[in-house]
């Protein structure tokens, strides 16, 4: 199982249009720590299908996008929708 597959599964089960979660909650979902770049580099959270951005595949394949990331508060908001 790929590291971020549990995030895909989690997002597929969610209703509503937005989900805000802490990085700590996201780590609990995937069962592993986020890389240091997730806490310091906003581009890590980009909505890009790229072979090196496997984390983005997790939310994009589930039909969600990162709407907002707050590095200082260590939180991310996902928004449903591919557009």
The predicted pLDDT at position 70 comes to: 98
Domain count, the chain: 1
Do 44 and 23 contact (CB within 8 A), yes or no?
A: no
Angle, helix 5-12 to helix 23-30, in steps of 10 degrees: 110
Q: What range defines the domain where residue 38 resides?
A: 5-80
Instruction: Give the pLDDT band of residue 82 (cuts 50, 70, 90).
Output: low
77-78-80 Cα angle (round to 5): 145
Is the Cα dihedral 44, 48, 54, 60 positive or negative? positive
Which residues in the chain belong to E strands, given as ranges?
18-22, 64-70, 75-80
The predicted pLDDT at position 51 comes to: 84
What is the share, in percent, of the chain residues with pLDDT greater than 90?
87
* pLDDT tens sequence across 28-57: 999 999 999 999 999 999 999 888 889 999
pTM for this one? 0.91
pLDDT at 74 over 80: yes
């Amino acid at each position: 199982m790929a590291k971020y597959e549990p995030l895909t599964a989690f997002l597929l089960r969610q209703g509503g249009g937005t989900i805000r979660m802490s990085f700590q909650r996201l780590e609990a979902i995937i069962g592993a720590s986020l890389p240091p770049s997730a806490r310091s580099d906003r581009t890590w959270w980009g909505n890009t299908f790229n072979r090196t951005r496997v984390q983005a595949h997790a939310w994009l394949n589930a039909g969600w996008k990162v709407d907002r990331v707050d590095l200082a508060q260590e939180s991310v908001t996902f928004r449903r929708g591919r557009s």
